[in-house]
Amino acid sequence: MSNKDFWDIFEIIGKVCGIILIPIAISYFGYQYNKALQINEIKSKYIEIAVSILRDNPSIETQGIRSWAIKVFSELSIIEIDEKTLNELKSSALPKDKIATNPDGSIMFNPDGSATIKSSE
């Protein structure tokens, strides 16, 4: 077997592998990207639901759903929420005028997925 024969065979094998592996790789990474987008969208919806629950004043009837909302809000928050703040959420409503909303009433999110907080100006 000459040196040219080896490289010819190597080239053929490389082309075949490229034809098979490149579409598989593109499909895999496309799937992973779409999956990540869907997960982020679901997290944003959960945060919206939690914030809408936490905006209402707490009552005995809403303790269970409020606890769920606090748990969702704290687990999906990018910045860790301290224990004092979590206790405040159990006993008082979120300030309605501090969270920015879109014209349709939905919460305005930053590109990183966190809610936009209005400045106090």
Interatomic CA distance for residues 17 and 20, integer angstroms: 5
The number of helix segments (H) and strand segments (E) in the chain equals: 3, 0
In the chain, what are the domain boundaries? 3-91
pLDDT in tens, 2-20: 566 888 888 888 888 889 9
pLDDT in tens, 45-92: 898 898 888 888 888 888 899 999 999 988 888 778 888 888 888 888
Confidence tier at 120 by pLDDT (50, 70, 90): very low
pTM greater than the 0.85 cutoff: no
Stretch (H or E) spanning 86: helix 83-91
